[in-house]
Amino acid sequence: MSKQNPTSNEETIEQNKELGIWEALIPVFALVIMLAYNVFVFGDAALGGSNQFILLLGGAVAAIVGVFNKVSFDNMVEEVATNIKSTAGAILILLMVGALAGTWLVSGIIPTMIYYGLQILNPTIFLAACVVICAVISVATGSSWTTSATVGIALIGIANALGISVGMTAGAILSGAYFGDKMSPLSDTTNLAPAMAGTDLFTHIRYMMITTVPTITLTLIIFVIIGLNIDPSGAANTQNILNSIEAAFTISPWLFAVPIIVIYLIVRKTPPLVALLLGTLLAAAAALFFQPEIIAGIGGGNQLSFYTAYKGLMNAITVDTAIETSNAALNDLFSSGGMQGMLGTIWLIICAMVFGGIMDAIGALARISKALLNLFHTTFGLFASTVVSCLALNATASDQYLSIVVPGKMFAKAYKDKGLAPENLSRTLEDSATVTSVLVPWNTCGAYHSGVLGVPVASYFGYAFFNYLSPFTTLLFAAFNIKIKQLTEKKKATV
């Protein structure tokens, strides 16, 4: 599960017989060119707002193409509204994650995780441990989003303290988180893909293991090798860091109760919004008990009173909060933007949905998928066209669910005509759509994870090995006809 309110299985994909393939690609080419130049000019600061406006300009180009192809402006606006509505759950989750991060900081939960983590996680095995820890949490919760917002934040903090690259760490976190997002029966994408392809959930999960187990194994091996060769600059200074954390916060293992309760609630299928809200409120209560002086200081006073407690907690939940320590590195680490810190990511998601909505309304998404389907006539070509379609939709529609729904609807009949079992399609959708969404900065998943972890997509892209190896694995198996399940033996003989 990556966010709330996934695209419905009954969603209508707009068709437009008058739209040619080159016309459908005009907004895509325009967007890519504009984004490339914008990033060249602004660098990492492009995500501060200029990329968002470029997405709106891309939507404007798509709207012009739509007008010339007899698509009414009202229809385009209606589709944009539908797209933005579908992200309401994701936006609320982002706001609650900001609130959670703020209260988990001032309550001492994140500092406590870092404190004990520094003593347990050896730098050599740290990256591989990140993959395993996040994989377990994500399988249990079915949510890569929740995994990033809880243990992911703490692991980034430990990496900072150890002097290990946060780009590497984020790549390891997301590799593990998306393994669980793919394989957990609690995940909405794991349920959506077989529904679109026409197979059942557990057949889909069993069939995914064929490509997923080798990919996650290779990912772990890579991170073990990297761990054996890195020289963490912070390792020698660990005791000084531990002393600084103890001086600034009251550290107690009892603080682990809050994240354990949150994870338990999600495993019990409590809606993520409810679990995150309860996690925020429990952390706020813990802050009053364990860190009264910190809360009073944030509230503008020297002693804890109802006034300073209320003001301090509300500041931690909603706006920038920073806790000063005797260690300069920790000062950067122990800061949170609260709900306010998530507004840039929300802005990006809304603008991405404008572009994706207009592309869907003018029939461009359907036209591009159909063109890809017509390009290939072999079994491998069918798999390749599915992968390319999913990748293209992650970049153009900016939504993970559309990247599953559109190709799922477009390719289901083609797989059946080839005599291929539907789980071939459902597995390919997950191997290419689910896991690569986090590699696109303006995709809802890329925007979310980079915002929550505080690591730009460009920094972790090269280290999210599981995410970009998965499409290659599924294509490799297709190319060598490894475990490609047929509908019947009779059909197999005719393919």
Of the listed ranges 1-10, 339-348, 479-488, the one predicted with least confidence: 1-10
Task: Give the model's pLDDT for residue 114.
Answer: 75
pLDDT of residue 396: 77
User: Mutual orientation of helices 379-396 and 400-417 as an angle, nearest 10°?
Assistant: 160
Confidence of residue 315 (pLDDT cuts 50, 70, 90): very high
User: Is residue 206 scored above 80 in pLDDT?
Assistant: yes
Q: Residue 333 — pLDDT band, cuts 50, 70, 90?
A: low
pLDDT score for 494 = 42
For residues 455 and 12, what is the distance between their CA atoms, to the nearest angstrom?
A: 35
Is the predicted pLDDT of residue 157 greater than 50, yes or no? yes
Instruction: Name the more confident of 322 and 178.
Output: 178
pLDDT of 324 strictly over 90: no
Q: What percent of the chain has pLDDT over 70?
A: 88
**Model pLDDT, residue 495:** 43
The residue among 362 and 37 whose pLDDT is bigger is 362
DSSP state of 7: P
Neighbours of 310 (CB within 10 A): 12
More confident residue, 93 or 109: 109
The reported pLDDT for the residue numbered 176 is 94
What is the pLDDT averaged over residues 169-174? 96
In the predicted structure, residue 352 carries a pLDDT above the cut 60: yes
Per-domain residue ranges for the chain? Answer: 21-83+345-480, 89-342
- pLDDT classification of 178: cutoffs 50, 70, 90: very high
In degrees and rounded to multiples of 5, residue 321 shows phi and psi of -135, 135
pLDDT in tens, 255-299: 989 988 887 887 777 787 888 899 899 999 999 999 999 999 999
Task: Name which residue leads in pLDDT, 408 or 224.
Answer: 224
Mean pLDDT of the chain: 82
Print burial letters for 100-130: b (CB count within 10 Å at least 16), e (below 16).
bbbbbbbbbbbbbbbbbbbeebebbebbbbb
Q: CA-to-CA distance for 448 and 144, rounded, in angstroms? A: 10
Q: What is the pLDDT of residues 212-222, one digit of tens each?
A: 999 999 999 99
pLDDT tens-digit readout, 404-435 = 877 877 677 778 878 889 999 999 999 999 89
| Alpha carbon distance 326, 331 (integer Å) | 8
Helix (H) or strand (E) holding 322: strand 321-322
Contacts of 455 (CB under 8 A, 6+ apart): 156, 166, 167, 169, 170
pLDDT range class, residue 374, cuts 50, 70, 90:
confident
Question: How far, in Å, CA of 221 to CA of 231, rounded?
Answer: 18
How confident is residue 202, by pLDDT bands cut at 50, 70 and 90? confident
362 phi and psi angles, rounded to 5 deg: -85, 0
Query: CA 55, 43, 176, 181: dihedral to nearest 10 degrees?
Result: 0
* Beta partners for residue 322, in sequence order: 335
More confident residue, 106 or 241: 106
